Structure formats: C-alpha cells, structure tokens
Structure 1
Amino acid sequence: MGDQARSRRAFLRGSSAAAVSVAAVLAGAGTGYGSPKGGRSVAILGGGVAGLTAAHELIERGFSVTVYERNVLGGKARSIGVPGSGKDGRPDLPGEHGFRFFPGFYHNLPDTMRRIPFLGKQNGTWDNLTRASAVLMSRMGGRADLTIPFPFPLPTNPPPLTPESFLASVISMFQTLLRLPPHEAAFAAEKLLVFVTSCDERRRGQWDDVTWADYTRTAWFSGEYDKLFADGLIRNLVASKSKDASTYSIGVVAEAVFWSLMGLGNESGSSVDRVLCGSTNEMWLDPWIGYLRAKGVAFRAGWAADALEIGGGRVTAASVVNKAGERRRVEAGWFLSAMPVERAMKLLSPAVLAADPGLAGIRELGTDWMVGLQFFLNRELPITPGHVNYEDSAWAITSISQQQFWKRPLDGYGDGTVRDCLSTILSDWGRPGNFTAKTARQCTPEQIAAETWAVMKAHLNDTGQAVLEDDMLHSWFLDPAITGAGTSDVDNDTPLFIQKPGTWKARPTARTAIPNLFFAGDWIRTNINVTTMEGANEAARQAVNGILDASGSAEPRCSVARLWVNPAFDAFKAADRGMYQLGLPHAFDLADPRRP
C-alpha cells in the first residue's frame, strides 16, 4: 500500500496519522524597523487588506510609507502554502484562511484591483476575477437540492417597484426557492420590506439594538424558517448567529445581496458572485505587494505593534516587537492602525484613552470564528459552478470547487497528483456536529476534517448518486490559525469581527480625537457595515482622507463608494423618519408590539 493510500485510509478512520502540518510560514521583506520621520511619513500598523489599501493610496500621493505586519503580508486574505507538500520543484499546495469571493455590489475594492498592474491584463488584477454562475443549496436526508442560477431570471421590462410589488416578489421567491409555507414567506417578506423602507435613523437607533432572531421572530415559526431564512441567511456570510447579530448590520448586507440578485447596484462589468481565477497570492496579493514595493513602500513583516506613546496630545511613537522579543521604537508623522479589532484593543493604554476617551467603546466589540478547511482531491469535482451551502450542516459549512475557475492546473502544485481543491469554510464552532456530539471547538483537527467530510457526503450523496467519494481524497489542510485543537487551550489567532446588537455606537470612525492617529479595518464604521474585504478597503480610504485633510495635502481625496440605494423607496424612508422622530413604529411593521 502506498503512503498516499495509507494516509487517506487513516483519515477516514479518524486516525491522527492523517494529520497535516499547519505551521505558518512567515513572508515579507526584511526585519528592519523605523519609518522616516516628517510631515509626510506614515507608519501603517497592519498589513492586511486595510493596511495594503492605505499604503496604496498614500504612496501614490507622495507620502513615505512603512507597513508593519506581525505575521504575513495579506492578513486573512492571503494564500497559505501547505508546509512540505511541494515535490520535485513544485510549489506547496495552496491552502487559505477561507475562499475569497467578490460580490457584485463591491465597488471600492474592485477600484483598487483595477489599479494593480498584472502582466497582459488591461484592468490589472480585476481582470483575474471570474464569474460564479450558480449557488447550490444542498440538503440532507434525501431532500432535493436547489440550484439557483446567476444572473437570476428576471422580467425584461419589470413593473415599477412599489411596496406591493416588492412584497409579491419576495414572497414568491421565498415560497419558490426556500419552499417556505405561505404565512412564513409573507412574514419574512414583510420584515425585509420594513428594513428597506426604514430611515437611517431607525436603522441605527432601533434596529442596531435588535438581534436578527428577534427581528425575524424565529421563535414564532418553524425550524425550516430559522434554518433557511433567519439563521441560514447570515451565518454562512458573516460568521454570526441570528441570536447574536445586529439587525442593522445583517439588514444592510441582505438588502445589498437582494438588489444584486435583481441586477441593481452592481459595479460595471460585474456579476452577483465572482471569484479569482487562481490562488489569492498569485492572482492578487503578490502583484499588489510587488507594485507597492516598487513604488517605495517599505514592508516590515514579523513586527507587531503593541503600544503607542502619547505626548502633547499626539502619538509620538509606536512600539513594535518581533517573535524573538526584540522591541523597536517607530517614529512617524502619522500613524494608521490597520489591525484587527482584537489587536487594536492592545493599543488602548490609559494615555491613549485620556487623549480620546471615545475609543474606549472598542473594548465592547466582539469576534467569532470562521475557519477555512481545504480538501485536496485526486480528480476534478465541479459540484456546481459556484458555491455550495450545506443547509443542514450544524457547523454552517460552505464550499467551492476551485479548479473549474483556476487557469493554472492544481497538478502543478504539491506532488503532482492533486486535481481539485474543495475549499470549505466552517462558520459555527459552538454547536454540536451532525455526526459527533462535540462542537468544532472541542474536536481535534482530524475530527474536524472527518466530520466536515461526512457532512458534505451526507448532503451530496443522499439522492442516490455518489458525488463525493472517499477514494477522491488526497489530503486536507486546516487553517493554521487554529491552535491547541482538541484541548482546553484551543484558540483562533485570526477571528472575525462580528456585529453584536448595540455596538454601532461603540465602533470608532477612521478619524480619532488624536490628530495624527487613524483607524482602518472592517470593524470601524463603514457604509457596508459588515466584516468584508470591501469594508476594510472602504475604511482605509476614509483613514487616508483623514490624513490628507489633517496634513493639509492638496492631493485628490480617495473616492469612497457607498452601497447602492434604491430611489423607489426614498419617499417611504422620509415618511418613516418622521414616524421615528415621534417615537412611532414603522408603518409597515405589523409585528411591532407598540402597534394598537
């Protein structure tokens, strides 16, 4: 028996012999430190999408930029090579924190991608996006799966949009696609109508304080209503549960997705769902970092910022430390924290909070886990030309078969026998599994992989056709950010920010009361409002505009695109603004307990 077959069989038995090394590989240039001091020098603390975006905008406007990243440039967006998997000169298999996708309603991030040169591409790395043309909603227990094509079939000349036509369309969609009974479909449609016609003041002042579960009244209806509409609508998108998520945040992204499906609000030349035509590093991040380095950005990978010095009401220096414990003092004219929220909290010293007491709200913000797990296969398996949602999975599993979208064959990686990558994401780590009584947090990496594989087989193979078979499996790779799996010390080094109810007011803006300190990241106040690469990019643009204003720069400001707003509902939002100011419920909210 060959080593590959033994490894595969050991995995299927749940044996630790199938364990895959998850050691992180540091990347980046040099371990130097220091940033040129002066009115146009900027120290960016964090090298993920937010930090790279800020570096891009600043270097093109003549600033001197140094980026400090504690781990690897690219942050959670980067590809992660499976250590030791490359053979005979081939690169390591491309693992990842989780598959990247680029909805059509993204505008800021695509603008940046168009400005990243890529050989032979007129529109830079943006041309490396390719369309996913369907989503598969897969069920267990012999229930028929549902494939939804993109673009969704729509009338050639749709009638004018009114509350009545909106309700009718959504009810029909929920009854047809989600198979909800008429009364549940009608109520779900009513709650979406209430949100899309709510004024901004009500969204932030009322709906932000209400959980999505309470807003959608999950306790009133069936488990299918919760699974497909309430919880199912959000947990695969933003690593949240309906009982924990702010209605304002979830409503914003749900509305954007709905308009996108209708062909409204998408950027020019886009589609509902897009993915890269290769690994994230090759198709986007490596060209981006190379471009920024060529323009003069200095990168200091392996150095983490953990403190700010305050003097005279300003930041005078940042303290950075490497994994060997060496500490350096960084001086610059401007400081931009582009770190995740759990890292940015470490900067909130008494001196910082004394200079800007409003930043204390950052400590109220929370995170949750959304983790990538790749299954490398020895044959191509294009399950559907897009993403698969495993609707009955306790761990909120989604996947995508990547080779169908990639230009470079996967047999050019690893040992040359891999033909596809079934890249999955696990979004619920606190619920017992379908076939194990343990939560994902309680499982070893081998148990996590075995449970996920079994759940996907139960969804895909339950109608008589063997779509996913055991002998397809080559190997698997769990995001190395998960440490101590299967022990009481399990941890996630890269959790995602979640939008808990009532925390909009606690989230900072890009500009602080400290005149030379700015924040960027998907956790600050942005128009898109949820944990996305688009939000990180938007926040960085806001921060750069703050630096341009504070420095008196004459350079043009960054464009900051907002989510598309349907003008058909402007009059209803204006009327609701008056109702909200009077303390009255929304006119269409029949479930509001204040209604007589």
Structure 2
Amino acid sequence: MTDVTVIGGGIGGLSAAQELAERGFDVTVYEANDRFGGKARSMPIADGPEPLHGEHGFRFFPAFYRHVVDTMERIPDGAGTVADNLVETEATLIASTYQPDRIAETGTPDSLRGWLEALRPAFAEDLPADDVRFLLERLAYLLTACEQRREHELDEISWWEFIDAENRSQEFQDRLAFATQSLVALRPEVGSARTIGTIYMQLLFGQLDPTRPTERILNGPTNEVWIDPWIEYLDRLGVEFHPGTPARGLTFDGRRITGVELADGSRANGDEYVLAVPVEVAPEFVTPELARAAPELGRIERLETAWMNGIQFYLAEDVELTRGHQVYADAPWALTSISQRQFWTGYDVDEHGPDEVEGVLSVIASDWETPGIVYGKPAKHCSREQIATEIWEQLKRHLNGPETRLTDELLVDWFLDPALVEVGSRSETHRGDGDAVDGVENRSPLLINTVGALRNRPPADVGVRNLTLAGDYVRTNSDLASMESANEAGRRAANAICRRHGIRDEARIWDLEEPAFLEPFKRQDRIRYRLGLPHPAEVTQSLRTFADRLGGRV
C-alpha cells in the first residue's frame, strides 16, 4: 500500500484524497484550520449548542460544473448522496438604484421563445443595437478560435480590450463590468479575454442545455450538507485526518520530496505528496532547489489574487427576494447575494441560535478598491464593523424602492468572513473603535486570471518524482478559480499518482462543452494559426457575414 500525504484539506486536497482512497492508497490529510473545506467551509458563528453557521460566501453550482458534482454524487448522505442537497434556482434579480428591478430567469427554458427571453438580459436589454451586434461578433470570434489562439493570443489581452469597451456606450460598459466582477471578483480591465469570455459563454450554454439545471445552490450550510458527510465518507475509506496541523515546508533531496515539516516541529512522511494549499501559501513551500527542479513551481508566486469575501446578515424575518441570486448592478462594492432560508430545506434555522433569527441574507463583496457610500473609503480600508454597515446600506439603497424590503429593525446580527483581519494600532480587545483601524488584511484571497496568467499556472504533475499539486491555480479545463477547478486539479493530481504506480483506473476529466457545429471553424483557425495568419474576425466582421459563413458550413 502506497502512503500519500496531502497538505491542505480544502476542495482540492479532499478531492485528491477521495480519488486515491477509492483506489486503495493509504491517505493522510493535514489541514491548518480546525475545519475542513477551505474557502468552501462554513463555521459556527458563536460558541454553544447548535449555533447558526457563517461562510466565506455562498456556494454556486452552474451547469458546467461537472467534476465537483460527480464527486458529490459519490458521497453517501442518509439514504442518498450529497448531490441530493443541490437545489435549482429559478431567477436572478438585477437591482439598481436608478432604474426598476429586472428579473433574469435561470430555470432551463423549454421553448425557443423561452431561450430568447432567458438570454435577453445578457445581450439585449437596455443596450444599444450596435453594442449588442458587436458583442455577438466578439463572442463568435472567441467561439471559433482554436485552443492555441485562445491560449497564446486571447489570454494576452484583457476582456475590456477584446470587447472594445472603451469605445462602447456607458450602458455596455456598466453591463459587462458588473456581469464579470460580480461573478469572478475580476475587473474586466485586467481579466484575460480567454478566461472571462469562456466562462461567460459556459454560463449561457448552461442555460440552453435541457439536460442539466442552469444553476444550483446547497440546501443548507456547506459543512452541514456537504463537507461533514464528505469527511465521514473518507474516514470510512481509511483516510486519516489531522485538523489544526499547519505545515511549514517540504524537504527535498534534489530528486524527490522526503518529508513535510509541520509547524509544531514534527515531521510527516509518505511515498507521495500532494500540495493542496492555497495560491498565496504555495510559494512558501517552493525552495530554490525545488524551483530549479520544477520551474513551474517558481512561477506560482507571479500569480495575482483579489478579494471576494462574504458576510451573512441574520434577520428577524425571512426576506425571500427572488428564488435565486441578487446582483446589485451599481453597488460600488460589486455585491451579489442569496436569501438563503427559502433554499435551506436540509437545515432548520429554528433549531439554531440566536432564537430571534428567521432569515439569512448571504452577501459577497467583489470590489474592495472603490470608495463606499457611507464612509467614503474602500472596503479594505474599513474596520470589520464599518464593512458590515457599508454593505447593509448598499443593500438597502438597491432593495428599498417602491417597496421597503430591508429595515434596520430586521437586522439581528451579522457574520463577516474571519479571513478579514483588522490591522492597525488598536488592540483586539477594543473592536468598537473603528476609526483606530487602518483597515483589514485578507488571509484568504482568490486567484484571478489576469492577462497572461496562464503561463504561470503549473500543471498538477510538475515533474518532481513524488510531488503533485491540487489547487484552483493549477491548469485545468475549468480554468476559473472555483470549487470546480480545485476538484479537477485534485483529480489530475490523483491521476498522476495512479500512473506512477501502474493503476489504469483514473478519475474522469471533462472538457468544457461547446456546440459541435463550431468545430469546422476551429479546425480552419487551427490551420491559420499554424501558418501565422490572424483569425478571420481579427478586424471585426459583420454579424451577417459570419451568419452567412455559418449557414454555408452547416
């Protein structure tokens, strides 16, 4: 039996552990936190019996998530599996301070008219016709580009530049800005056209696929309905867990990893090692010797991160809003939210404290650089209490129009992501004095796919004889920093280990799906790329010309 040491108990590490344990490997997982799940974990908001849970941010499973859902389908939970705890959304509320609310249906359409109506908010609503036509032409360019061109050309320009946003209408700029930043904590000015464009299209394709729900969320706090059953299942498979056990380094003899140095001074040994720590932590494990042996490891430190953190507001009444997400189109901190209780069929709020809580509004802030409306400061320069006050006020300004949905009397308590730690001169015991705080530092930032970042993302198998990587910064088909990408990376790490030990039963890896009728155009562009020729739409052609070519090919 081969011993595998996994460093990090987030989604990537647990995914690798499951694939390996199911194939007979002896797996041990070391996790720095006292709870497993990484950025996906939920945690009690207070001491005492049965407290409510708070989270880094709400979980979101669009249709193109294949790897993580497949894993969930193999985790027993009661009479079914953890995947049974996924609940389909129905609509997204797009709230604004200067125009009426808009509703975008997220249920899978069952007619052509339904498809057109579902896509209208993404393409046409409130946008000038010229802008809509141009965006469709750009998306056609993206979809007919070969993979080599996407990787070596489209990854080298920003989404903002690719869609020529600077020369488009203000409505166009606003729509594309909130659509991308709320989704991936990534400003379109710096995000790769390859990543943002690909994920944007995957979300749209998912809405047109009648075989899969467009998007789903969990029916309870993440640990209650996913992570805890996962740990129980892995424990039954023989996986050994060490929570609250941070690692501080790897020992390397020039050819292979010989051990893991733990923070308490002890040492962990194995035959194989999976490094599954977050992107901001990984460079601490890369010694100069390791970087020379595997140059991909040395480039991890060049990857950039951004902040995308959550807060939960606990309410005296259940304010349902829409049965899905809410997007706050002109909120300076790029807010999105979910009113959770309507989905929490697997979790009884009444059985958890505080007693007066009837509703949970979970909010994610994606812009920490823009000044807010209350204190006139970016979120990162506010205290934790100021952040909560600011986000609450931004929500009220968007939701309280003709109908008052949120009032201060409704607010019972709040829970802000504990990864946001106050910095400044005052001590931890004087948390009420917000003015004495310089701001917060984020100890759990998110990888962002900036222009040219792909060249710095390592493969799961980096070429060191017994080391693999499992994190959302690894090169994956999923591409975006997410649970899906982390799960795929864990599978790739497990597959590399299986190949080393002659095991042919590898974990499945899915490609992102795009319409089959586009393949002839991709093949044509592959030839053009090899010949050094530009894509036919390098200088944007008219949509009618593209449609004529498409009609002639199909």
TM-score, length of structure 2 as denominator length: 0.91
Residue 9 of structure 2 is aligned to residue 47 of structure 1:
yes
CA 1:175–1:48: 2 relative to 1, 3 Å: closer
Task: Give the Cα–Cα distance (whole angstroms) in 2 for the partners of residues 152 and 406 of structure 1.
Answer: 21
Task: Give the Cα–Cα distance (whole angstroms) in 2 for the partners of residues 315 and 507 of structure 1.
Answer: 21
Residue 339 of structure 2 is aligned to residue 382 of structure 1:
no
| Cα offset, 1:255, TM superposition | 1.4
Task: Give the Cα–Cα distance (whole angstroms) in 2 for the partners of residues 305 and 505 of structure 1.
Answer: 27
For residue 293 of structure 1, what is the amino acid of its counterpart?
A: D
Q: Indicate which of 28, 38, 55 corresponds to 1:96.
A: 55
In structure 2, the partner of 1:223 is: 170
Alignment of 1:293-442 (within 5 A): 293-321=235-263, 326-407=264-345, 408-442=347-381
Residue 222 of structure 2 is aligned to residue 255 of structure 1:
no
Task: Give the Cα–Cα distance (whole angstroms) in 2 for the partners of residues 432 and 305 of structure 1.
Answer: 37
| Cα offset, 1:174, TM superposition | 4.8
Alignment of 1:95-114 (within 5 A): 95-114=54-73
SS in 1 for 2:93: strand
CA 1:437–1:502: 2 relative to 1, 3 Å: same
Residue 516 of structure 2 is aligned to residue 567 of structure 1:
yes
- Given that 2:43 and 2:55 are in contact with CA atoms closer than 8 Å, whether structure 1 keeps it comes out as yes
Deviation string, structure 1 residues 31-82 (Cα, Å, up to 9, x no partner): xxxxxxxx60000000001111111111111111100111131111111211
- Given that 2:105 and 2:118 are in contact with CA atoms closer than 8 Å, whether structure 1 keeps it comes out as no
Deviation string, structure 1 residues 526-572 (Cα, Å, up to 9, x no partner): 00100110100111101100001112235x11111121121111111
In structure 1, the partner of 2:417 is: 479
| Cα offset, 1:169, TM superposition | 9.8
Deviation string, structure 1 residues 369-424 (Cα, Å, up to 9, x no partner): 10110000011111000000000101000000001011233122112211110000
| Cα offset, 1:152, TM superposition | 5.2
For residue 197 of structure 2, what is the amino acid of its counterpart?
A: G
SS in 2 for 1:327: coil
SS in 2 for 1:466: coil
In structure 2, the partner of 1:513 is: 463
SS in 2 for 1:453: helix
Q: Indicate which of 11, 19, 25 corresponds to 1:63.
A: 25
Deviation string, structure 1 residues 91-144 (Cα, Å, up to 9, x no partner): 1121000000111111111111011111122xx000011111111111113x11
In structure 2, the partner of 1:208 is: 155
Residue 116 of structure 2 is aligned to residue 136 of structure 1:
no
Residue 482 of structure 2 is aligned to residue 535 of structure 1:
no
For residue 256 of structure 1, what is the amino acid of its counterpart?
A: Q
For residue 422 of structure 1, what is the amino acid of its counterpart?
A: L
| Cα offset, 1:436, TM superposition | 3.4
CA 1:207–1:83: 2 relative to 1, 3 Å: same
| Cα offset, 1:224, TM superposition | 2.1
- Given that 1:209 and 1:246 are in contact with CA atoms closer than 8 Å, whether structure 2 keeps it comes out as yes
- Given that 2:27 and 2:240 are in contact with CA atoms closer than 8 Å, whether structure 1 keeps it comes out as yes
Residue 211 of structure 2 is aligned to residue 245 of structure 1:
no
For residue 55 of structure 1, what is the amino acid of its counterpart?
A: A
- Given that 1:374 and 1:421 are in contact with CA atoms closer than 8 Å, whether structure 2 keeps it comes out as yes
- Given that 2:254 and 2:290 are in contact with CA atoms closer than 8 Å, whether structure 1 keeps it comes out as no
Q: Indicate which of 504, 522, 529 corresponds to 1:580.
A: 529
In structure 2, the partner of 1:447 is: 386
For residue 497 of structure 1, what is the amino acid of its counterpart?
A: L
- Given that 2:104 and 2:121 are in contact with CA atoms closer than 8 Å, whether structure 1 keeps it comes out as no
| Cα offset, 1:359, TM superposition | 1.9
- Given that 1:151 and 1:263 are in contact with CA atoms closer than 8 Å, whether structure 2 keeps it comes out as no
- Given that 2:54 and 2:415 are in contact with CA atoms closer than 8 Å, whether structure 1 keeps it comes out as yes
Task: Give the Cα–Cα distance (whole angstroms) in 2 for the partners of residues 175 and 282 of structure 1.
Answer: 38
In structure 2, the partner of 1:76 is: 39
In structure 2, the partner of 1:552 is: 502
SS in 2 for 1:233: helix
Residue 75 of structure 2 is aligned to residue 116 of structure 1:
yes
Task: Give the Cα–Cα distance (whole angstroms) in 2 for the partners of residues 349 and 424 of structure 1.
Answer: 38
Gaps of 5+ in 1: 1-38, 160-167
Task: Give the Cα–Cα distance (whole angstroms) in 1 for the partners of residues 292 and 257 of structure 2.
Answer: 12
SS in 1 for 2:148: helix
CA 1:372–1:171: 2 relative to 1, 3 Å: closer
CA 1:171–1:591: 2 relative to 1, 3 Å: farther
How many residue pairs get aligned? The number is: 527
- Given that 2:109 and 2:207 are in contact with CA atoms closer than 8 Å, whether structure 1 keeps it comes out as no
User: Over the residues paired in the alignment, what is the CA RMSD in angstroms?
Assistant: 2.0
| Cα offset, 1:173, TM superposition | 5.5
Task: Give the Cα–Cα distance (whole angstroms) in 1 for the partners of residues 291 and 382 of structure 2.
Answer: 39
- Given that 2:124 and 2:132 are in contact with CA atoms closer than 8 Å, whether structure 1 keeps it comes out as no
In structure 1, the partner of 2:431 is: none
- Given that 1:97 and 1:479 are in contact with CA atoms closer than 8 Å, whether structure 2 keeps it comes out as yes
Percent sequence identity is 38
CA 1:95–1:434: 2 relative to 1, 3 Å: same
In structure 1, the partner of 2:182 is: 236
SS in 2 for 1:548: helix
- Given that 2:73 and 2:83 are in contact with CA atoms closer than 8 Å, whether structure 1 keeps it comes out as yes
Gaps of 5+ in 2: 424-433, 542-554
Task: Give the Cα–Cα distance (whole angstroms) in 1 for the partners of residues 517 and 369 of structure 2.
Answer: 41
- Given that 2:91 and 2:103 are in contact with CA atoms closer than 8 Å, whether structure 1 keeps it comes out as yes
| Cα offset, 1:158, TM superposition | 11
Task: Give the Cα–Cα distance (whole angstroms) in 2 for the partners of residues 441 and 379 of structure 1.
Answer: 30
For residue 75 of structure 1, what is the amino acid of its counterpart?
A: G
